[in-house]
Amino acid sequence: MDLLIFEHPILIVQALMDGVLLGILFALIAYGMALQWGVMNIINIAQGELVIMGGYVAYFLYMYGIHPAYGVIVSPIVMYFVGIGIYKLVINKVVDKDLFTSILATFGISILMMQLMNFVFGADVVVAQSNFGTTMLFDNSVTLPNSKIFASAVSVLAAIVLVLYMKKSKLGRAIRATAQNARAAKILGVDTEKVYASTFGINAALCGVAGALIAITFTLHPYVGLPYTVRSFMIVIVAGLGNLPGVALSGMGLGVFEEFADYLLGTEFRIAAVFLLLVLILVYRRFKLARSREYLK
């Protein structure tokens, strides 16, 4: 246990700001997960791998000398088609099966993507330098990389665009109708198959945006996808489906939690803290929801 953070209160400010900026990114990924969970009733374990693959698209641009920030535009387009492809190949066969089937199938996809990325990009930790510089606050005692500020601004923008799209466009309305009642929507002439495919594609595109931002602000590695899946799952169960402010808030909360865990327990326990928090949240939720049960002796 390292208590340095409480001896220097300015570190608390630093951790809070880092956490909030990080959390906005998590919220974006979680929003995609909530979307497909609500519409298709599947939990996508490969969510994190979609994010990392999106990041590698931006890194690919960077390798060819293009500024990685353009990845924010390119990556969602590429990932949209990757998402549609995955849907056509696998997901459409498990979408009406029970949830565990989809969990296991997407787990298979996640292992597959992990390994393919490992082949293409190697097992090294990579980062796409954005050269955005840093902003100093409070007499140079709090440093904020501009790339993180850029990342959260883009995330917020992407979320706003998506919300407007879901509210205004025809496809958005079809998606919302399918989420409410797939059978009724089908009867009323909605092509649910197409809706599912586009939902999965939109989710993958969101992951692409988030991945490109992660490539700029943090690091990429083929095997770090699963923590992103778990983070978004956690955010969704805390916030509930279709609750955007809740998703944003709990995302930020998770970001702050992680930064504090990082300072207090050390970086080696950071991922462990995330997974333990997941277990704690689920168990807490179970006790909260459990009715008081009594038995005849």
Give the footprint of another protein on this chain (CB under 8 A): 43, 90, 93-94, 97, 99-101, 103-105, 107-116, 119, 226, 230, 233, 237, 266, 268-269, 271-272, 275-276, 278-279, 282-283, 285-287, 290, 293, 295-296
253 token code pair: 């909360």
- Residue 281 beta carbon to another protein: minimum distance, rounded to whole angstroms: 9
Q: How far is the CB of 147 from another protein (least distance, A)?
A: 27
- Output 43 or 204, the one with its CB closest to another protein: 43
**Smallest gap from residue 170 Cβ to another protein (A):** 31
CA atoms within 13 A on the CB side of 267: 0
- Exposure pattern of 100-135 as b/e (b: 16+ CB <10 Å)? eebeebbbebbeebbeebeeebeeeebbbebebeee
Residue whose CB is less far from another protein, 65 or 296: 296
DSSP 198-254: HHHHHHHHHHHHHHHHHHHHS-B-TT-HHHHHHHHHHHHHHH-TT-HHHHHHHHHHH
Q: Is the Cβ of residue 164 or residue 279 nearer to another protein in the bound state?
A: 279
Query: In the complex with another protein, which residue's Cβ is closer, 43 or 248?
Result: 43
Q: Whole-number minimum distance, CB 44 to another protein, in Å?
A: 11
How near is the Cβ of 152 to another protein at its closest, in Å? 26
- Rounded (10°) CA dihedral 10, 125, 206, 68: 90
| Closer CB to another protein, 163 or 282, in the complex | 282
Q: Which is nearer to another protein, 11 or 112 (CB)?
A: 112
Nearer to another protein, 99 or 125 (CB): 99
112 vs 249, beta carbon nearer another protein: 112
Nearest approach, Cβ of 184 to another protein (angstroms)?
A: 22
At its nearest, how many Å lie between another protein and the CB of residue 191?
Answer: 21
DSSP 46: T
Q: Which residues pair with 145 in a beta bridge?
A: 134
Instruction: Write the CB contacts of 200 (distance below 8 Å, at least 6 apart in sequence).
Output: 36, 40, 83, 84, 86, 87, 91
Q: State the minimum distance, in angstroms, from the CB of residue 156 to another protein.
A: 28
Helix (H, G, I), strand (E, B) or coil at 137: strand
Q: How would you class 295 by CB atoms within 10 Å of its CB: exposed for 0-12, middle for 13-18, buried for 19 or more?
A: exposed
CB 228 within 8 A of CB 52: yes
